[in-house]
């Protein structure tokens, strides 16, 4: 038995959608909370399966997780024990690697098996491990698990060969309890890093420079509980902006920080989408006329986000001429192109680029969400395709989008779930 999402294309979207808290921040904030010696209240938590998987891991460590309201959780690590994380939840979820930095920082030791998540080509955690070693930890790999330990963590100057978000956050979490000062150079600048550093500072950490390429962390002895509200999800916001550009007459995307979407909004304006940007919302009025092809190169923030190139690929099948997307972050992130071709898209992939020729009419068929953002690309396609699109492996979509089909139904989409054999 398998749950699928079905979409009947051709129904225009209208109305307002409210964006949830950031998935990419949440999956790091929850592990960061265990660094405290008191309860941490996090507000704006999205109702997604990644959060449920992280809650299972917290329970395995003896951490109490209480859901106060739909989007508020209280994490109480008072009765926590540093146990090996080798269960199934780790392999389901790549972001479980944030427990490496958190547990190493708090206890000086962590044992954990290799994390899982969406396959986007090789995403080694060497940068994380090199950072831990620079702080004085030893790293061993035995029987599929990492054992990372240190008698004492000592601050150091760390240069990241690639400005990795995961490595920046993980090293930051380990360094809050290290003796002296840690400097991370070529640090990632993503808004989620600012959000995590902000919460750690509320807990009593001394972190400066977040959002720039140099972050300094002065170690402290003890972090306490705090209250923290998560920033809005810029990738969910961007996805709905693309959905609106493709299939809406008029749609408002609210509870967003528009500056986080600058690269996308400027590109949409350039290809011919009619947009109106406000303080905390974007209004999409559809297309100004015929869409023009364009060229996009994914880059770390504030460049064009890799997480949004897949949904945008679908929109560009409706643009005149050739569009080229070059993927510099995850060069193999083109599995969605094969699925879109099943629906009639004219796309050629030559890694690290794909070439999209349009406009073409898409036709509904059976497709597979090979990863989270591929799922989003197929939802965009289903809304504009002729007939019914049936999306399989929808658990990928549920990992990162809260109530996607419910939100789209309210906007006028004909979208539903069915259980099939």
Calculate ∠ Cα 239-391-269, nearest 5°.
Answer: 25
Name the residue among 412, 408, 396, 315 with its Cα closest to residue 23: 396
Q: Which helix (H) or strand (E) holds 88?
A: helix 88-92
337 is catalytic: no
Residue 118, token pair as written in the block: 């969406």
Query: Which residue is catalytic, options 118, 226, 337, 374?
Result: 118
For the range 211-216, what are the long-range contacts, defined as Cβ-Cβ under 8 Å and sequence gap of 24 or more?
212/187, 213/163, 213/185, 213/186, 213/187, 213/189, 214/183, 214/184, 214/185, 214/187, 215/168, 215/172, 215/183, 215/184, 215/187, 216/181, 216/182, 216/183, 216/184
Alpha carbon distance 357, 347 (integer Å): 6
Name the residue among 112, 109, 108, 130 with its Cα closest to residue 178: 108
Name the residue among 369, 310, 314 with its Cα closest to residue 3: 369
Q: What is the CB neighbour count within 10 angstroms for residue 140?
A: 10
Sole residue written with tokens 């950031």: 22
DSSP per-residue string spanning 112-148: EEPP-----S----HHHHHHHHHTT-EEEEETTEEEE
Catalytic (active-site) positions: 118
């Amino acid at each position: 038995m398998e749950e699928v999402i079905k979409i009947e294309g051709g129904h225009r979207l209208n109305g307002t959608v409210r964006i949830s808290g950031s998935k990419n921040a949440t999956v790091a904030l929850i592990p960061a909370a265990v660094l405290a010696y008191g309860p941490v209240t996090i507000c704006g938590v999205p109702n997604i399966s990644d959060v449920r998987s992280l809650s299972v891991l917290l329970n395995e460590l003896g951490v109490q997780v209480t859901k106060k309201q739909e989007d508020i959780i209280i994490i109480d690590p008072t009765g926590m024990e540093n146990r090996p994380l080798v269960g199934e939840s780790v392999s389901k979820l790549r972001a479980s690697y944030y427990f490496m930095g958190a547990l190493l920082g708090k206890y000086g030791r962590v044992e954990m098996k290799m994390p899982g998540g969406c396959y986007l080509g090789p995403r080694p955690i060497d940068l994380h491990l090199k950072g831990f070693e620079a702080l004085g930890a030893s790293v061993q790999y035995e029987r599929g698990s990492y054992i990372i330990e240190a008698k004492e963590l000592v601050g150091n100057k760390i240069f990241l060969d690639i400005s990795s978000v995961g490595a920046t956050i993980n090293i930051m979490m380990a360094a809050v309890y290290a003796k002296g000062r840690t400097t991370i150079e070529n640090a990632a600048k993503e808004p989620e890093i600012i959000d995590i550093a902000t919460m750690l500072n509320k807990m009593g950490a001394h972190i400066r420079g977040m959002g720039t390429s140099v972050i300094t962390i002065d170690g402290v002895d003890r972090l306490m509980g705090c209250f923290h509200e998560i920033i809005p999800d810029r990738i969910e916001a961007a996805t709905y902006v693309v959905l609106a550009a493709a299939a809406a007459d008029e749609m408002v995307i609210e509870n967003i920080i528009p500056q986080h979407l600058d690269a996308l909004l400027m590109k949409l304006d350039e290809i011919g989408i009619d947009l109106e940007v406000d303080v905390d919302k974007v209004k999409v009025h559809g297309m100004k006329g015929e869409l023009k092809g364009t060229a996009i190169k994914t880059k770390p923030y504030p460049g064009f986000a890799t997480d949004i190139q897949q949904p945008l690929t679908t929109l560009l099948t409706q643009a005149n001429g050739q569009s080229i997307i070059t993927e510099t972050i995850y060069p193999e992130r083109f599995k969605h192109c094969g699925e879109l071709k099943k629906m009639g898209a004219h796309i050629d992939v030559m890694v690290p680029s794909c070439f999209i020729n349009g406009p073409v009419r898409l036709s509904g068929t059976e497709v597979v969400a090979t990863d989270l953002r591929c799922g989003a690309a197929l939802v965009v396609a289903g809304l504009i395709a002729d007939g019914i699109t049936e999306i399989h492996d929808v658990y990928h979509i549920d990992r990162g989008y809260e109530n996607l089909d419910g939100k789209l139904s309210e906007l006028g989409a004909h979208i539903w779930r069915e259980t099939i054999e």
